[in-house]
Structure 1
């Protein structure tokens, strides 16, 4: 590994963190910072990665303005048997970002240039500020102010969050004037937004068979209902043997899920047009409004560069585990499908998944399981409420090894988690 315009190494967490983060937020492509790798690329690792992650999140949240929530991700990666902390940073939609204690000045406003961060000139700062997006969900006023959030609170509690009186404020659901913003409207128990799943008998829109509607509720609940409906329509044939799993669906389920969630998170709701999902005899089509998010080029889009249009939604979807990692969705789709399934226009982004014919071997996926993964499946069959810690003890493996293998099983849609981390159970798909 080497440093580049999008990659920065740090042997240890130091005082320059905020400068590097601001530099990537103001850079058109975002970037990644690795803590535990020296400048020459040697992996030195870190001790107590959990504590370092907590400190990083706290510093980015509190020391940088405008709000960075939904624009960064902090994870632990294992490299050469050593833990490294990885910070993934999106290009921000409200440039210029700056270090609070220096204000919107050259000392506070920095940008990535090659492998360094440089101070912006006042001309650059003024230009970016004049272009700052003013129609973001956080700044748009909700058409209703009598909003409630029982559904949203349930999702957070199921994911282990202890909620307090500042819950809505922490999610940035208020405008600067203290009124509910449009992000709050989308996440509220009741709203006027509905997403449609239309099913046709042929290859065009002449013969409509079904027009299911999911909405007028929290966008999280509407998303789950839409995903469930499409999963039912995405017929599957599965065979599991002692060594491999063979599955064939009309459309790859992982790619379909990523495309649906991307469409919902990055849709331009300011024009009142929600995403649309259509099923034809030969394809599944997902259409979102607003074109490419934040005017990314197509090349940057396909590279997985993250620039969320709706950072408030991104933050919530990550909290409730509908999104795993920034910038991962498009890359997962491209592992299975060609770029040609994406169609771009100034106002819309369309993804069209071709349906596999019966008997067609194209897209059939054979997944080889290692011994640990087979043993994990065996234990889940015996007790689907078993915890990862219990599996670790029974198999005499480290918790990290079990987590890594179960994550792989989830990514391949072999197992899914039903319910919360605390009270839920494992299901073998």
Structure 2
């Protein structure tokens, strides 16, 4: 249908959303540009009858011109799109055609070739990049069927109800939160959010500044992903030591790391992780830093600059909405800028396989400085000592289970360390706790 809109003689410059062609003799190239813009931004417009300077030069429009364009779109573009084809007029009566479309069913191809927009140019996607493109396409959690079809959602409902949303574990919940695939079966999103969630989240603490010696591994499992994510946040917060400096201007308290930056990095890691492979994100803690690791990388369509600026393009959009509903996340794209404001752009490392956010500590962990003046201990003894420091309320049986050693060995080791002045029992054996000394009593 003709639209006689009166607009300026010049349409400006080509960019990531607009492409100019002098006439429909370049229709195929124009449609290739349209698919490139859809692949990049989910929307775009091609103008025919406009030169590359944005000047309207006019386009012959016959009886079948619009029909021919629509047929070409149907024949050349896959998957199908619904395009808006219009005839416009300049102030001096020159006619030109605009073809606009929106779509997120990426990747889009023109005659079997896949392009992506880069500035004002279209770049053909090489085979080496197609896998990343498909990983970033659609919502894979929704499309992938759960291996377990006997799922319940009591914990998810409790969280929703806590946030003022009246939820029941019924068909309405399953459909509204997209816990089912197109065949009506539970999908992988449903599996992750269910009470039967198989994903295990872990905080791994290493002794030193590399992964040579693992001090302990704390696992969070057996609950809905939302609860496990929240439990990791609580646990890491308990490890955030407070240092006190006495200065002329007074007492200055400083934390080991920014809890705000950690929370943003951890939520991002869990929401944007490539869960289809069921490799969960993780937190690794060293003497001098913490690393938050997620898998899958940034969306293919997002440039590095857009990523660092905080442009939001969720890998798992439906999962993100549920995190927002339970107030565990905000759809504002401010997470990356928050991390950068605390730790700088270099704290975020992007690779083809994933994203690593590194939070440098304000100083070494207390366990590291204490360890430097310890007597010589075996690796197992050091692991037990680190576990006592992290979990002073645990029984020796729990310490043994957590460290993977026998109860008798742990008991003998703790007795030895008590004699060395490294640990002390405060209170009774039943209700007391362990105190790991900040400094060794050299008089012993």
State the TM-score bracket (shorter-chain normalisation): 0.5 to 0.7
Q: Is the 8 A contact 2:257 2:360 kept in 1?
A: yes
**Residues 307/276 of structure 1: CA separation in 2 closer, same or farther (3 Å cut):** same
Aligned counterpart, 2:314:
308
Other structure's SS at 1:28 match:
helix
Match of 1:195 among 198, 201, 220: 201
Structure 1: segments with no counterpart, 5+ residues: 8-22, 32-94, 98-102, 109-115, 240-244, 360-429
Aligned counterpart, 1:354:
360
Q: Is the 8 A contact 1:172 1:312 kept in 2?
A: yes
Aligned counterpart, 2:343:
337
Aligned counterpart, 2:156:
152
Q: Is the 8 A contact 2:81 2:101 kept in 1?
A: no
Aligned counterpart, 2:233:
227
The separation in 1 between residues aligned to 2:109 and 2:204, in whole angstroms, is 50
Q: Is the 8 A contact 1:104 1:125 kept in 2?
A: no
Is 2:275 the counterpart of 1:269?
Answer: yes
Aligned counterpart, 1:118:
100
Once the two structures are superposed, residues 228-249 of structure 1 have per-residue CA deviations (whole angstroms, 9 ceiling, x without a partner) of: 111111213589xxxxx97521
The separation in 1 between residues aligned to 2:149 and 2:363, in whole angstroms, is 49
Q: Is the 8 A contact 1:137 1:270 kept in 2?
A: yes
Is 2:176 the counterpart of 1:170?
Answer: yes
Aligned counterpart, 2:292:
286
**1:251, CA displacement in angstroms?**
1.1
The separation in 2 between residues aligned to 1:227 and 1:322, in whole angstroms, is 11
- Considering only aligned residues, what root-mean-square deviation do their CA atoms show, in Å? 3.8
The separation in 2 between residues aligned to 1:155 and 1:120, in whole angstroms, is 35
Once the two structures are superposed, residues 28-58 of structure 1 have per-residue CA deviations (whole angstroms, 9 ceiling, x without a partner) of: 3579xxxxxxxxxxxxxxxxxxxxxxxxxxx
The separation in 2 between residues aligned to 1:307 and 1:275, in whole angstroms, is 19
The separation in 1 between residues aligned to 2:334 and 2:322, in whole angstroms, is 16
Is 2:140 the counterpart of 1:136?
Answer: yes
Aligned counterpart, 2:257:
251
Match of 1:105 among 82, 85, 90: 82
The separation in 1 between residues aligned to 2:337 and 2:256, in whole angstroms, is 20
Structure 2 length normalisation: TM-score? 0.52
**1:107, CA displacement in angstroms?**
3.2
The separation in 2 between residues aligned to 1:308 and 1:163, in whole angstroms, is 25
The separation in 2 between residues aligned to 1:123 and 1:345, in whole angstroms, is 26
**1:356, CA displacement in angstroms?**
0.8
Q: Is the 8 A contact 1:294 1:309 kept in 2?
A: no
Matched residue count: 261
Structure 2: segments with no counterpart, 5+ residues: 1-13, 18-34, 44-76, 86-97, 116-129, 246-250, 366-444
Is 2:212 the counterpart of 1:206?
Answer: yes
Structure 1 length normalisation: TM-score? 0.54
Other structure's SS at 1:197 match:
strand
Q: Is the 8 A contact 2:287 2:364 kept in 1?
A: no
The separation in 2 between residues aligned to 1:160 and 1:30, in whole angstroms, is 33
The separation in 2 between residues aligned to 1:247 and 1:317, in whole angstroms, is 33
Q: Is the 8 A contact 1:6 1:30 kept in 2?
A: no
Aligned counterpart, 1:182:
188
Once the two structures are superposed, residues 356-390 of structure 1 have per-residue CA deviations (whole angstroms, 9 ceiling, x without a partner) of: 1279xxxxxxxxxxxxxxxxxxxxxxxxxxxxxxx
The separation in 1 between residues aligned to 2:139 and 2:354, in whole angstroms, is 17
**1:345, CA displacement in angstroms?**
1.3
**1:191, CA displacement in angstroms?**
2.2
Higher-RCO chain (CA-CA 8 Å, sequence separation at least 6):
1
Q: Is the 8 A contact 2:343 2:360 kept in 1?
A: no
Other structure's SS at 2:268 match:
helix
Q: Runs in 1 of length 4+ with deviation above 3 angstroms? A: 4-7, 25-31, 119-132
**Residues 6/257 of structure 1: CA separation in 2 closer, same or farther (3 Å cut):** farther
